[in-house]
Every structure is written in C-alpha cells, then in structure tokens.
Structure 1
Amino acid sequence: MSFAAAMLSLPRPLLVTCVYLLLLPGCQGRILGYTNGFHYQDISNGNGHGEIYFNGIRLHVESPQSSVSATRGSTVTLPCHYHYEPELTIPRKTRVKWSWLPANTMTPQVSADAFFKETEVMVAMGSRHRSYGSFRGRVRLRRSAPGDMSLVINELQVNDTGRYRCEVIDGLEDDSVTVDLELRGVVFPYYSQKGRYHYNFFRAQKECQDQDATLATFEQLFTAWEEGLDWCNAGWLADGTVQYPITIPRDGCGGKNLAPGLRSYGQRDRVLHRYDAFCFAASVKGTVYFLENTTKLNFTEAIQACSSDGSQIAKVGQLYAAWKLMGLDHCDAGWLADGSVRYPITKARANCGPSQPGVRSFGFPPQYLKFGVYCYRSMLCFNAGQIKPY
C-alpha cells in the first residue's frame, strides 16, 4: 500500500493529527512550494529537495537610528542592515520588504495591532524590485555595502511620515526593525474668521491645505507642546481626535489641578462636531519676505502689490515655516492670503509683542484697514533674473 493510501485509510481525527505533526518545525515531512506572498520556495537556500540548512545560524536585522527627520521635498534614507551570526562565507538569497504605518494612524491606542495596518512600500529580491502606491518611482534600496537594505525616499511628501518596517526574509527565517520618519516643521492653531469652533473634520483638513499645510498628527502636536506650544482652544488632528496643548494649567483649560499636557476630547463625529484645527507646515520651497513699501495697503492692494513684485501673497503655513525653519524675523504686521494680519519674531524685543519668539497675530481685521504685506516667491519664479532675498 502506498504512503498516500495508508494515510487516507486512517480515521479522520488521527489523519488530522498526522498532518499537523508533519507541519511542525523539525518534522521529517516537508510541504514543498510553501508561500505566503513572498514566494519562499524561490529563496529556500537549500539543496533542491526542500531541505533548508539554517541550523546554528541567526539572522539579525538592525537600524542604527530608531527615527529620522527630514524636510519636505528632500531625499531621506531610512537605515536598515542585516547580518548573520556566525558570519557566512557563501552569500544567501534574501528578500526584503519595506512596509509603512502612516502617522495619522499612530495614536497612543495603536500598539500590538499596528503591524496589521501596515501597507507595502517596496519589495526586492536581488536585482528585482517593485514599489507600490504613492511611493512608486520614488523609492530604492541604497545597497552601499553587503547587508545594506536602507530605503531611500525621493521628493519627500508631507503624508510620507509614519513608522516604516524593514523585514528581511531568508527561507523560513525572517527578522525586522522599525524606523520612524518625522517631518521637520511647525504646528500652528488655525480658526475661522467667524471665531472659534466652526470646522468639522473635513473642513479643518481643507483649511490647513489652503494654507500650504496639513492637519497635524498627535506626535507633531506633542512635539510642539514639548517645545512650549500653549493653546486653550480644542482643534482637530489628522487621526480624527480633538485635542489641545497646555503648558500652564489654568481655569477654563482643564483646570489648575491638572498637570501640563495634551487635553483630549477623544474621537469626535467628523461631520457633526465643530472645532478649530491644528495645522502642520513643513519647509517652504521658496522665499517669504516682507514687501518694503512706502505706504500701507488694504487687503486688495496687498494682493496686487505682491503680484506686481512677481510673487503671491503668502499663506499662513508659509509664514510659519519661514519663521520656524528659516529664521524669518520682521516686526512689521502684514496681510496674508487668508485675510489675517501677522508678523514673525525669532528674537523677542521691545515693541514686537510678547517676550517669547513666535508668529504674532492681529486676527482678521476689516479688509479696508492698511498694513504691510508678506509675499511668497517660488524658487521657480524669477523677477528680472533674481529671486528676492528675505
């Protein structure tokens, strides 16, 4: 009687037990062609008979950095290296998979189940590779030395932030490491001309986008709080929660008895509930400057003045990014594209507002009043062959 016939003649409970035992590690039975999407049978590193020699050898995947920060539009490298213990003299076939957990899903509640929410960025084996989604054509492996599987991302986008996993697979062995990618920038509160608490979640998203920014993530707001951001009005974040940062506890802002920190309303209805927004502005690919003019301007005149100078009136996110990342410091109040009037101060001094650095705001004054204006010129825009300096 053949082995297969003998197996089939067994009672069903015993048959299930035998099959289970054959699948256990170390059993004599092997299931050829095993795959879970990575085509492990192609990289079994065995003898051609389904036997994988990996006894006494350990695969290690490591990164010298747990987090990396960069600016929008730049090229960033997420380090990942693998090696064996003990070292091997004969190269082995490996497959690497980079996956990504977006920052807007990385809340304090996301922990053990985070892996299952990751999406693929890139898969590579030897000279073959494939990238996915918004990363297609923007990512590659560095491969600067044996075992280097570092991911290089070109033209970094605001939405690229989050947790990246580098997984290396050798036969049935695999190991992985994670690297957090953060975007250098600045968080600022944003509210309607009508006053506070007029935005549902989707309107808050649009308002931030209109100011060359995005809704801030929890991590970005937390970092801003650590750097001293104190704001008593609640605002939407990218994960759909509503929170606000308090450095000096006080009545009306959670109470004097609560410790400093982020006050949270938790998840709110994204359509029905109304709050302000916390926006995040990254680097500006251009120049923000105060337009020197002998006379003050109303809002309509301010727009025209920037246009005549070969520029556009600056957006709020552009002004904040220029202040935070490029050190823009000017004590004159000026119009911005949303109809607000503000000015940036990096070195606090007399007659320039409070004693701390920041972007001072006059709110949304009547548009017939006269102020200066802040203009923005893209690096691609030229005026008589020159880009206007700060």
Structure 2
Amino acid sequence: MNFKCTVFVLCCLVSLTQAKAPWQDKFERAMGKFLDILFEDVKPGLNDEIFRLAALVETMNATLAQTQQKLTKQILDEIEEVKENVNDMQKCTCSKRFWVFHVAVGRYTLNFEQAKQKCIDNGAKIAAPNQLQAAQARGYDQCQAGWLSDGSVRYPITMPRWGCGEGSPGVRSWGKPAKTKTYDVYCFKKPNTQSHNAFERAIDDKDTGGTCFVDRLLEKLSEALAEQQQQQTKQILDKIEEVEEKVDDIRKCTCSERYGVFHLAVGRYTLNFEQAKQICIDNGAVIATVEQLKAAQSFGFDQCSAGWLSDGSVRYPITMPRPGCGGDGPPGIKSWGNPAKTNTYDVYCFKKEKQQQ
C-alpha cells in the first residue's frame, strides 16, 4: 500500500480509538462489507497493514506522552531553580555572593585612573578579572564595558541577546585599550558588618549606575522561556499543518489508489449515460455500482460532483457536508435520482487495484 493509503488508514484507526458512537458501528460494518468485495488475496495484506498501523499509533501516543512529561518536568525544574535564586537575590544576598558592582558617570566617561578613583570614592577598589568572572558565574549580567584592575575592559553576560554578548554566556573582553580611553568601571568590595548597609545602598544607587540586577535577570529569563514555548508551539502547529495537507491530498482523488472508485469528468457535466460508461472503459475500469460508491464514501471519499452510476442513477459521495455540498445533512451518498440517460453529468468508475509487491 502506498504512503497516502497508510496516512488515511492511520486516521481511521485514531478515530476508532475514541469512545464508540452509533455511527462508528455503521463505519465498522461498512468496512467489513468493503473488505468482502476485495480480492481474496488482498485481504490478508490489508489486515496486516491495519494491525501494523494500530501498533504504530500506540507507540506514537506513548512517545508523545513521554516527551510531553519530560519537557514539562524540565521547564518546572528550571522555574523552581529560578525562583530559589530570585528569592535569594531579592534578599540582597547578591552583594554577599560576589561584591562586584558597576559604576558609571554618564556613559563611558572614565579613563583608567579616574575609574580606580571612582571605586575608592565608593569605599571599594577596582575589581580584578577573576572577581568579575566569579560574579558572572553566579548570574551577574551587565551590558556595559568597564575597566578592570589589569587594565582590560570587559563586561559580564549571563543572557546573551542582540547587542549584548551574542553567543554563549561569559565575560566579554574589549582587550586592553590605552588607559586614556574612557569606559565605565567594575568595583569590588567585601564589606564588614559596619559598612554592610552602606555598601547595599551604594550598589542600589541609581546615580552610580549600580544595580542588584535581579529584576533585569528575571525579565530576560522569562523572555527566554516564552521564546522556547513559542518555538515548541510552532513545531506542533507545523506538524498539524503537514498532516492536514496530506489529508487534503488524500481527498483530491487519490481515492482510486485506496478503494478502486474514482471520479471522471470531461469539462463539467458533459457525459450522457452511454458516454459515461465508455469513458470508464477507456480508463481500464467499469462504471461503479451504488454499493461500490457507498463503500468508498465510508472510507472517506468526498467528491462534490454528481456522476452516473451503473443503475442509471446520478449520485455523489460526501464525508464532510458543507454549503452547496451536502448542506447541513449527515454524511453519505447524495442522490439526484434517475434522470433521462440523455442528460449529462460526470461519472464514477471502479477498478480493482492489483496487490502491490
């Protein structure tokens, strides 16, 4: 059986895994009747395919459930870790962890000597590279380049974004420029008990550009999680769209590949009864019976075009009623009666497919 057939049968199996409704009993009876009109040598292969697809559906459902559980646990673990860190930071233990803070006077106005003095004025000293590295490892994020004690200019990034450390997290370096050039500065101070409150005021002082960075870090992390969820949602929607496209393809006259009934037309409603029979013969088939069209419809064949059948009636199969095609009524075979055989319509032909090797 071809791929489109496999997708169609898979859809049928998924629908049958739900709680049975009255129409599903009718569907199963129609399926049994359809199997009875197939070649005897086709039945075993089709049954094997159905059982194989049923096992595949079960495996896919189990895999999907495991993936969802794993992803949910991963996100919840990350959120829990963030909450713990944020609670710690909001108590201002951030200063106790690494004692590094950013100081600026305007934007990039301090040469190296002025930077060192600015830290002294704040009761601290200019930070060393390893001190800034330790602060970054604990979550410090600041998108401003500042002097360090070795004459280098760097800044710490924990959440890379456009214009601020694109790439992986870490301490970004601008090298060792001339000490007359101007930047901001990173200071370091581990306060004693007496100076602790003064230090906390210093790192929260907006005039110095210092910050405990908690709110900014939490905001960036929330944005990252939201972006991750959007990407996962897009992947799921893309998969759904892909399946819908395959279903549409199946409905567009791949029917002949599944159950032997197919629609033929020359223009729109141009064939009288005798011409309809002949065009089926020309296509290596015969004009379909009412029973064959019903079996095809029960398997999902949907064609909004009236066509001749072997008993001289004019009908068309509908699985998805819509305005102008079955209206608000139930799915089924819609009939235009038995018109004069000189009238012109399309035609439904039938050809048993050979078992594929």
TM-score by length of 1: 0.28
Structure with greater helix percent: 2
Query: Greater relative contact order: 1 or 2 (C-alpha under 8 angstroms, separation 6 or more)?
Result: 2
TM-score by length of 2: 0.31
